[in-house]
Chains A and B, each alone.
Chain A
């Protein structure tokens, strides 16, 4: 079976900021991404309600991972998709959580977001497209509504 994951420019809202980590809820509540502040392209302090833009793709379980390079995950230039690796660190009946390579945070997504040739298990290697995040605005809504 051949399929190809593609990076899509997506949006999300900052739900929480703590200990230098930013928690972003994807629009449509299709995932929760926690990344270090260094991956955010913004000069001002990040706050809940900030609207983020970034590239992301489905996550693919890989049996033979490549030698991924995260050198492009920098905020000095325009955000661009980068093929990254990671490992599954949690799986339940609903979702899976992935630790992004090089300590770049975690991504939790519903099982439907995971493309896999084998049953999901903790420790499996995955790959996906991801990018730094760019702040595009702020929504004036209660945090509990994010």
Chain B
């Protein structure tokens, strides 16, 4: 990948390497040179070997090639007509280029007092390939600045919030505790016990011809060492009793969730890619937002769908649809159940005029079967009444924080057990909870934007997002994406759309080792890592590496720092969980303990 003149100016002292094969007679310019920011990765991958005889970029500009030279080859004196005179500086040595760890390691200086804000600085970086970082953030009880940034500058840049709270709409979530679940002869709720009519499965399969059978069973917390087919989704049980999604009253059953599993008639896992079949106690990260909690009773709904339809859009959707028929029967009973409400959760959509206006952008999957979501169904976390974001062209859709917290997104759950966001994740998305509760911010809304397959479609959708952000006149945004792969293209593009409009932006994603970014831009300077796998890989544990409360806390603080106008210094070149834990420590958060699931490390 060639470099721009702007990038070139930042790397004059770095080794000169051709990005592609170049032929005799060429006059060397920026367009011919590889980005030095990628050298570490290339060396590690065995694609590039730096030479002590290699020249620096400033020495080769304008020189003419005397012979053909292959791509990724250091440029040496013997292939040039001349070498530019430059200041006498040591020639680049492999170690300096490959592992400038002492220079790149984030150093955090804490400064107590001031406005209570935490500041971070990352040096300017116009490419972030290989950036796998949580940039250093600061302490809760005082102002923290990255080294080299005068604390006064940070303090001066931050205005005291003046936002007065104005409630637009209120949602009351009444949580009712379930202590026992049984598959029986009727659907009922009595004294904290949920009974599900076993005959419901016969009716549910009639909802979609592609669903051939459904089975229900109950898994208690102490009986989780049980084989399960691939975990397609974890879905809460909730129903509206007053108002529409996002306002009024919703009843939620605590202590119980549905878990959808599925195979086709040949026994092929519906999520053959990204499947998580195995022993349940080893295949779910209990307690994470998208998963069952430690003490939840799990109602397993196992679907068998028509042969060879597991890889088509209608096949997996049929399983979700039929499960929803069963959940709806429970919802109808729940509407009239007057059981003990163990917790009342008041959720408010508010304006805090005068505070920084921010939005949360959630990039969701939009590439086909399972890479899809049902938006705004009639019932919380339901199917009926909703629209799939793929069918909507993956365009940005604005939801209120309350709508998200009231189950406006039913995930058809993309591939990658550890990094996919399941339905339960969205109804208790930590970033929504954190931003909505932050009295220093004015959370305008949550934008859901799908990730299409083809590059041009990604750009088109991203441009729509850019103009939406512009029209909202926001002061900052956090952009997240689930999973990794080509969706990182639009993810970074979205960051660019915000950045070029001078909107401070923080990116949140799983990157680590396996999901390292393949594209970057000069606005992607603040990134927060979701990984919790020891090797930095996607693993087979559902919900392992998603947005957690800690990830959200770091991202929100990072956004505040960005909005304060403080430059951000890059973290280490390679993903390093120590950086994340240093940040956790500064924010008083628990340590991020990585799961050893047998991936390479």
Contacts and interface: CB of A to CB of B under 8 A. Distances in A.
A50 B311 CA distance: 27
A28 B274 contact: yes
Interface in B437-460: 453-456, 459
A80 B518 contact: no
Contacts of B138: none
Interface stretch (B330-338, B367-375, B463-471, B552-560): B367-375
Contact of A6 (B41, B365, B368): B41
Contacts of A64: none
A8 B38 CA distance: 14
A51 to B, nearest CB: 8
Interface stretch (B188-196, B345-353, B411-419): B411-419
B46 interface: yes
A3 B518 contact: yes
Nearest to A118: B454
B273 A31 contact: yes
A8 B485 contact: no
What interface size band does chain A fall in? 35 or more
A105 interface: no
B46 A95 contact: no
B282 to A, nearest CB: 9
A111 B372 CA distance: 13
A29 B312 CA distance: 18
Nearest to B492: A3
A120 B311 CA distance: 15
A58 B415 contact: no
Interface string A26-41: 0111111000000000
Most buried by B among A7, A8, A114, A145: A8
A19 to B, nearest CB: 20
Contacts of B29: none
Contact of A93 (B369, B417, B487, B599): B369
Given A94-B369, A145-B278, A8 B514 contact: yes
B271 interface: yes
A11 interface: yes
A116 B514 contact: no
B516 interface: yes
Given A6-B516, A80-B46, A94-B370, A117 B539 contact: no
A31 B271 CA distance: 11
A113 B600 contact: no
Contacts of A145: 277-279
A109 B453 contact: no
B522 interface: no
A16 B170 CA distance: 55
B455 A1 contact: yes
Contact of A28 (B311, B493, B537): B537
Interface residues of B, number: 57
Contacts of B513: 8
Given A11-B537, A58-B518, A93-B368, A27 B312 contact: no
Contacts of A139: 598
B415 A93 contact: no
A117 B483 contact: no
Contacts of A30: 273-274, 415-416, 538
Contacts, number: 156
Interface in A1-60: 1-11, 27-32, 51, 53, 55, 58
A115 B489 contact: yes
A81 interface: yes
Contact of B311 (A11, A27, A55, A94): A94
B453 A8 contact: no
B600 A116 contact: no
Given A27-B540, A92-B312, A53 B600 contact: yes
Contact of A10 (B369, B483, B519, B600): B600
Contacts of B417: 28-29
B99 interface: no
A117 B455 contact: yes
Most buried by B among A2, A32, A81: A2
Contact of B47 (A7, A109, A136): A7
Nearest to A83: B47
A58 B276 contact: no
Interface in B464-489: 483-487, 489
Contacts of A8: 45, 513-514, 516
A144 B279 CA distance: 11
A30 to B, nearest CB: 6
Given A5-B518, A139-B598, A29 B489 contact: no
Contacts of B1: 2-4
Given A4-B129, A28-B539, A92-B369, A111 B453 contact: yes
B486 A112 contact: yes
B275 interface: yes
Given A27-B537, A30-B274, A30-B415, A112 B455 contact: no
Interface in B499-516: 513-514, 516
Contact of B514 (A28, A55, A144): A28
Contacts of B311: 92-95
Interface string B518-553: 110000000000000001011110000000000000
B274 A3 contact: no
Contacts of B275: 29
Contacts of B53: none
B307 interface: no
A84 to B, nearest CB: 14
Contacts of A93: 311-313, 368-369
Contacts of A55: 45-46
User: What 9 A-B pairs have minimum CB-CB distances, sorted nearest first?
Assistant: A28-B538, A112-B485, A93-B369, A93-B368, A3-B519, A94-B311, A92-B311, A110-B415, A11-B600
Given A3-B1, A27-B537, A117-B456, 13 more contacts: A1-B455, A28-B274, A30-B538, A32-B273, A51-B598, A81-B45, A94-B371, A110-B415, A111-B367, A114-B453, A116-B453, A117-B455, A136-B600
Interface of B: 1, 38, 41-42, 45-47, 129, 271-279, 310-313, 365, 367-371, 414-418, 453-456, 459, 483-487, 489, 493, 513-514, 516, 518-519, 535, 537-540, 598-600
18 contacts: A3-B1, A4-B129, A4-B518, A10-B514, A11-B535, A11-B599, A29-B275, A29-B415, A51-B598, A94-B273, A94-B415, A110-B274, A111-B368, A112-B485, A114-B453, A115-B455, A115-B518, A145-B278
